[in-house]
């Protein structure tokens, strides 16, 4: 599952960060690395961007960027 498909309020673990070049490096620099816990906190009224909670802070990502982040849903998503 990719991060853009994670429901609001649900937790997941980052499995893989995709993308190429500067996009991938930017995501990694923001702390989105494999093994990190992440949760979708809010979604904009039109669906883009989304706000996630990661490493104790809120981060806003475009849907296109979130599609590059593969996550494994936590127990609260099943």
pLDDT in tens, 13-62: 999 998 888 989 998 998 899 999 999 999 999 888 999 999 899 999 99
Beta bridge partners of 11: 39
Q: Which domains does the chain have, with CATH numbers?
A: 3-77 (2.30.30.90)
Q: pTM value? A: 0.84
DSSP state of 25: H
The more confident residue out of 78 and 63 is 63
pLDDT at 78: 45
Tell me the torsion sign for CA atoms 25, 31, 35, 41.
negative
Q: Are 1 and 71 in contact (CB under 8 A)?
A: yes
Q: What is the number of other CB atoms lying within 10 angstroms of the CB of residue 16?
A: 11
- Stated as kind and residue range, the H or E segment containing 65 is helix 63-66
pLDDT at 41: 92
pLDDT at 19: 83
């Amino acid at each position: 599952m990719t991060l853009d498909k994670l429901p609001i309020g649900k937790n997941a673990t980052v499995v893989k960060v995709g993308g190429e070049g500067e996009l991938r490096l930017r995501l990694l620099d923001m702390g989105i690395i494999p093994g990190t816990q992440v949760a979708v906190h809010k979604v904009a009224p039109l669906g883009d961007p989304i706000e996630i909670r990661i490493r104790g802070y809120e981060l806003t990502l475009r849907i296109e960027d979130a599609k590059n982040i593969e996550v494994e849903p936590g127990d609260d998503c099943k």
